[in-house]
Amino acid sequence: MARPTLRAIPIAILVLLVVPPVFARQELSPRRVDQAARLVASGTRALNNGNVRKAVEQFDRALAIVPEFPDAHMALGHVAIAEKRFADALTSYERARGGYEAMGDALFRLRLERYHEAGDQVRRLQTRRNEVQERLLLNRDPSGALEIQLQRVDQDIARLEAIEPPTEEDSDQVPSEVDFYVGNALMNLERDVSRTRAARLDGR
């Protein structure tokens, strides 16, 4: 049996849209969202390395923290598709779409908060950079440690300055690939049902 990976998902044409389920809204914190995102990233790496069991465990852990987290539902849908569990895949993709819709405003607020926090961090790092630079100018770096600190501060500043402000237009948008995967799961499910019916008729 081929090991399922995110790249092994069949490609099909979108044939039907499904009404997403309704999630109970909850207060989100940046810490919880970050935890869920890290778990999904870890699970994705495990999945691409062929460790499906660990991947699913990580995705489930993410959902235990943020039940609506759409990336985790999407990932579980990918696993189900690769394992030809098309009904489960459809359910996961529907939940992902519902998650994007339910969390849109909350995620926008969190992204906006992170953007402002990044600006504050840049200002603090620039102060730190000036202090390190001053010490370097006074030749107080015999070990080279200050040069390393300066490089790290510059890297952190560049990373934070690369963060773009979120736009309100993005707050309620569901990624287009979600509907693509919903259609993919639907078409495969319909084919599976048709094959099962045909096999039963042949067996009469």
List the domains of the chain with CATH numbers: 27-164+179-202 (1.25.40)
Q: Which residue has the higher pLDDT, 155 or 8?
A: 155
Q: What local confidence, expressed as pLDDT, does residue 169 receive?
A: 64
The answer to whether residue 24 scores a pLDDT higher than 50 is no
Mean pLDDT value of segment 52-80: 95
Residue 53 confidence class, pLDDT cut points 50, 70, 90: very high
Plot region of 84 (φ>0 → left; ψ -120 to 50 → alpha; else → beta): left
Q: Burial code of 49-70, b = ≥16 C-beta within 10 A, e = fewer? A: eeebeebbebbebbbebbbbbb
- State the Cα–Cα distance between residues 34 and 23, nearest whole angstrom: 20
Residue 141 has pLDDT above 60, yes or no: yes
Tokens of 166: 């979120």
pLDDT recorded at residue 77: 96
92-101 pLDDT, tens digit per residue, is 999 999 998 8
Q: Cα Rg for the chain, rounded, in angstroms?
A: 23
In 106-129, which positions are buried (b, 16+ CB within 10 angstroms) versus exposed (e)?
A: bbbebbeebeeebeebbeebeeeb
Give the percent of the chain with pLDDT over 70. Answer: 77
